[in-house]
């Protein structure tokens, strides 16, 4: 827990305000097709060398940038003399050396360690126009090296696309490491996992507050599936909704002021809205069918959910003001776990076909349905990154459940190995 | 053996109680005047001596607490789980027969409260399965209530797919896991 309680001491200094000529130039909807040639130089020691720190920084930054799908990396073996030069100023950089390699972008940086204090100085250059796109100096502790690398990766994406990357955020998930299902929190790449609950019961289905560093989840701690709330850094925990029967699949509204969830207090699973203090605000559905798995539209006016009101489980959308319900999916006999992209009108869900759950995306009006995962193993519980460009989900390959990430179009899938073999129910935090 | 006879005793007692209550509810026959009859002369007869000897029962009668404890043990040992078809919460004929038996045990042990747990197999969404498990528990509860078990004695909880009893991944294991269980609570 000490790891969590120690707030990251990362100081951001914007060195230069630059115009964003490249900003909004890149859409990441189909990342592979417009990869920008990038020369990613390793960071150089400003004073004494600490190869293990530099190597970790380089590894994390490259992993993030590669995952973004935005770049085609220039082979470092072809780098020339300027790659070994610490000159970070625009006037110090030998741009023709980088240009001849075909790179359009260049990342250079340096670091120094004074005692436990780590300083990292990073620059992103437009090679063609020889302009500084972004320059950042990060000051933190030695142990913050990964966080600094993630933060700079986010900054690179923000500079190039106008939308920050999600790499310095957190993923919450459920793991059975202890023998019981408990709530865990980790970095997006699986590093630094910590267990948050000790309920020794069954903990399920977490969701992050979009505005505060807190989570809601369902737990059987008090012998009923109740909704709990937990503040991540203070560890403070309370029971938020404990109606008789189900208090499950809680989801914060985009403004963080309401929670949609399923209650069965009246004898049947229905969607309700409650306040963040647990007070019942209103009932959203009224049908003898099962209504579960709410997911908010980015504007907070509509909620996608799962219902078997027409026989098999399908995805529906309810307008929270008029309570009008529209059917979204028609294909497949079992559709579940919808998640509405926080930045665009796209809904991801899992569908059972040929005895396997795969992930699909669809527009909220039902058009342009696409399958984005293929092959063996059940893929379920997809959740979007806060920038809407990536997905995290669970894969059950018959031996156990593991967590995976991929881009919004299904490309670049990779396992978050550090989360282990018995991990499920991921949720992606907002800005952290 | 002993508990079987107790159960039989209780069941008979229950049936008798039902009959007695039934008799009491018979409509009262209207009284009609009896016609006057000539007085008959009864010929006096010698009094026959009737032999009377006290019978002592050496076996100790069961106290109410002991009977209750026996019924509780009988229920604990005898309540059986029921199974469901995929994505269904309605009761199969087999499930109904088991519930008839469970209801008998519960009527015989009126002080026993039961937690009905609804479970599903692992297929499908976790949240949907939590709701499906609850529906199964409710189906079982409603049927027991229709058989005369007090609704206030039956609490339900759904565990969805969280507590499988068979861990294999085949139709046989899934069928075992789609179930409702009956646990005696305090």
pLDDT score, position B68: 87
What would the pLDDT profile of A226-271 be if each residue is shown by its tens digit? Answer: 999 999 999 999 999 999 999 999 999 999 999 999 999 998 999 9
Q: Where are the domains of chain A?
A: 2-161, 170-428
* Comparison of pLDDT for A14 and A114, the residue scoring more: A114
Which residues in chain A have their CB less than 8 angstroms from residue B128's CB?
290, 292-293, 306, 308, 313, 336
Q: How far is CA A79 from CA A130, A151, B145, in A?
A: 17, 25, 80
Q: How far is CA A199 from CA A202, A204, A231, B34, B54, in A?
A: 7, 11, 15, 81, 65
Residue A197's φ and ψ, nearest 5 degrees, are -120, 155
What residue in B sits closest to A291 (Cα-Cα)? Answer: B128
Which residues in chain A have their CB less than 8 angstroms from residue B134's CB?
245-246, 264, 269
Q: How confident is the model at residue B43 (pLDDT cuts 50, 70, 90)?
A: low
CB contact under 8 A, A306 and B128: yes
The interaxial angle of helices B93-108 and B126-146, nearest 10 deg, is 60
Q: How confident is the model at residue B33 (pLDDT cuts 50, 70, 90)?
A: low
Lowest mean pLDDT among A4-8, A59-63, A228-232, B93-97: A4-8
Distance, in Å, from the CA atom of A6 to the CA atom of B83, rounded to the nearest integer, reads 51
CATH number of the domain encompassing residue B174: 3.30.1330.60
Distance, in Å, from the CA atom of B8 to the CA atom of A141, rounded to the nearest integer, reads 77
Q: How far is CA A361 from CA A115, A253, A335, A373, B106, in A?
A: 50, 21, 12, 10, 50
Residue B23: inside a domain: no
Secondary structure (DSSP) of A222-268: TSS-EEEEEETTT--EEEEE--SS-EEEEEE-TTSSEEEEEE-TTSS
Q: Which of A224, A292, A334 sits opposite B127 (nearest CB)?
A: A292
Is any Cβ of chain B less than 8 angstroms from the Cβ of A269?
Answer: yes
Only one residue has tokens 């609950």, namely A197
pLDDT score, position B47: 63
Only one residue has tokens 């306040």, namely A275
Mean pLDDT value of segment A328-356:
95
Q: How far is CA A205 from CA A232, A306, B62, in A?
A: 16, 15, 52
Report the relative pairing of strands A36-40 and A105-114 from DSSP bridges.
Answer: parallel
Residue B26: inside a domain: no
As beta bridge partners, residue B156 has: B116
pLDDT score, position B25: 45
* Portion of chain A with pLDDT greater than 90, in percent: 87
| Number of domains chain B is built from | 1
Site from A243, A244, A249 to mutate, B interface, most B CB atoms within 10 angstroms: A249
Nearest chain A Cα distance for residue B162, angstroms: 8
Residue B110: inside a domain: yes
What residue in A sits closest to B139 (Cα-Cα)? Answer: A267
Is the pTM value of this prediction over 0.95? no
**Topology of the domain covering A170-428:** Neuraminidase (2.120.10)
Distance, in Å, from the CA atom of B128 to the CA atom of A312, rounded to the nearest integer, reads 11
Which residues in chain A have their CB less than 8 angstroms from residue B141's CB?
none
The CATH number that domain A2-161 falls under is: 3.40.50.10070
Q: How confident is the model at residue B42 (pLDDT cuts 50, 70, 90)?
A: low
Contact A267, A288 (CB under 8 A): no
CB contact under 8 A, B138 and A352: no
Q: Which of B131, B156, B162 sits opposite A290 (nearest CB)?
A: B131
Is any Cβ of chain B less than 8 angstroms from the Cβ of A45?
Answer: no
Q: How far is CA A242 from CA A206, A262, A423, in A?
A: 16, 11, 26
Residue B58: inside a domain: no
Which residues in chain A have their CB less than 8 angstroms from residue B124's CB?
313, 334, 336, 352
Which residues in chain B have their CB less than 8 angstroms from residue A423's CB?
none
What would the pLDDT profile of A128-147 be if each residue is shown by its tens digit? Answer: 999 999 999 999 999 999 99
CB contact under 8 A, A290 and B158: no
Q: Which of A224, A246, A306 sits opposite B125 (nearest CB)?
A: A306
CB contact under 8 A, B124 and A336: yes
Is any Cβ of chain B less than 8 angstroms from the Cβ of A290?
Answer: yes
pLDDT score, position B130: 97
Q: What is the domain range of residue B164?
A: 72-185
Question: Is the pLDDT reported for residue A8 higher than 50?
Answer: no
What residue in B sits closest to A288 (Cα-Cα)? Answer: B135
Q: How confident is the model at residue A87 (pLDDT cuts 50, 70, 90)?
A: confident
Distance, in Å, from the CA atom of A287 to the CA atom of B43, rounded to the nearest integer, reads 84
Nearest chain A Cα distance for residue B18, angstroms: 33
Q: Count other C-beta atoms under 10 Å from residue A71's C-beta.
A: 22
CB contact under 8 A, B125 and A267: no
Closest to B85 measured CA to CA, from B176, B23, B183: B176
Which residues in chain B have their CB less than 8 angstroms from residue A248's CB?
127, 130-131
Question: Is the pLDDT reported for residue A218 higher than 80?
Answer: yes
A31-50: burial string, b at 16+ Cβ within 10 Å, e else = beeeeebbbbbbbbebeeeb
Site from A202, A260, A269 to mutate, B interface, most B CB atoms within 10 angstroms: A269
Tokens describing residue B180: 């409702």
């Amino acid at each position: 827990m000490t790891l969590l309680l120690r707030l990251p001491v990362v100081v951001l200094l914007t060195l230069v305000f630059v115009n964003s000529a490249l900003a909004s130039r890149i859409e990441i909807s189909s990342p592979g097709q417009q990869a920008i040639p990038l020369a990613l130089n390793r960071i150089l020691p400003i004073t004494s060398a600490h190869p293990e720190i530099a190597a970790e920084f380089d590894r994390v930054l490259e992993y993030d940038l590669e995952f973004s799908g935005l770049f085609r990396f220039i082979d470092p073996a072809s780098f020339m003399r300027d790659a070994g030069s610490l000159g970070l100023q625009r006037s110090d950089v030998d741009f023709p050396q980088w240009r001849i390699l075909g790179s359009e972008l260049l990342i250079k940086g340096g670091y120094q360690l004074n005692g436990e204090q780590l300083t990292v100085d990073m620059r992103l250059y437009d090679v063609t126009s020889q302009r500084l796109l972004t320059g950042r100096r990060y000051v933190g502790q030695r142990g913050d090296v990964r966080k600094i690398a993630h933060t700079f990766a986010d900054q690179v994406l923000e500079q190039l696309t106008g939308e920050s990357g999600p790499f310095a955020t957190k993923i919450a998930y459920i793991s059975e490491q202890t023998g019981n299902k408990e709530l865990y929190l980790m970095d997006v790449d699986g590093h630094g996992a910590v267990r948050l609950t000790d309920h020794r019961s069954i903990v399920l289905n977490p969701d992050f507050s979009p505005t505060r560093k807190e989570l809601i989840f369902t737990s059987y701690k008090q012998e009923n599936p109740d909704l709990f709330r937990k503040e991540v850094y203070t560890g403070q925990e309370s029971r938020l909704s404990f109606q008789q029967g189900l208090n499950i699949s809680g989801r914060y509204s985009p403004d963080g002021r309401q929670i949609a969830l399923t209650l069965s207090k009246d004898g049947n699973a229905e969607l309700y809205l409650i306040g963040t203090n647990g007070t019942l605000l209103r009932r959203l559905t009224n049908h003898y069918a099962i209504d579960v798995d709410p997911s908010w539209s980015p504007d907070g006016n509509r909620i996608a959910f799962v219902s078997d009101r027409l026989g098999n489980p399908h995805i529906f959308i309810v307008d929270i003001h008029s309570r009008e319900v529209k059917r979204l999916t028609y294909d497949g006999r079992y559709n579940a776990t919808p998640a509405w992209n926080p930045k665009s009108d796209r809904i991801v869900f899992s569908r059972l076909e040929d005895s396997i759950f795969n992930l699909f995306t669809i527009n909220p009006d039902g058009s342009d349905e696409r399958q984005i995962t293929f092959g063996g193993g059940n893929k379920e519980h997809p959740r979007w990154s806060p920038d809407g460009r990536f997905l995290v989900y669970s894969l059950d390959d018959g031996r156990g459940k593991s967590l995976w990430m991929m881009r919004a179009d299904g490309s670049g899938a990779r396992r978050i190995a550090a989360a282990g073999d018995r991990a499920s129910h991921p949720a992606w935090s907002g800005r952290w | 053996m002993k508990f079987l006879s107790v159960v039989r005793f209780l069941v008979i007692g229950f049936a008798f109680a039902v009959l007695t209550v039934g008799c009491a509810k018979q409509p009262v026959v209207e009284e009609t005047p009896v016609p006057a009859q000539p007085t008959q002369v009864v010929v006096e007869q010698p009094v026959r001596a009737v032999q009377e000897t006290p019978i002592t029962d050496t076996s100790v009668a069961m106290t109410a607490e002991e009977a209750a404890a026996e019924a509780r043990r009988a229920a604990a040992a005898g309540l059986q789980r029921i199974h469901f078809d995929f994505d269904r919460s309605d009761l199969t004929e087999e499930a109904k027969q088991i519930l008839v038996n469970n209801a008998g045990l519960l009527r015989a042990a009126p002080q026993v409260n039961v937690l009905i747990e609804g479970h599903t197999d692992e297929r499908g969404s976790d949240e949907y399965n939590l709701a499906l498990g609850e529906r199964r528990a409710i189906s079982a509860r409603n049927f027991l209530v229709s058989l005369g078990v007090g609704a206030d004695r039956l609490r339900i909880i759904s565990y969805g797919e969280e507590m499988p009893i068979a861990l294999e991944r085949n139709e046989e294991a899934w069928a075992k896991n789609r179930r409702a269980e009956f646990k005696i609570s305090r």
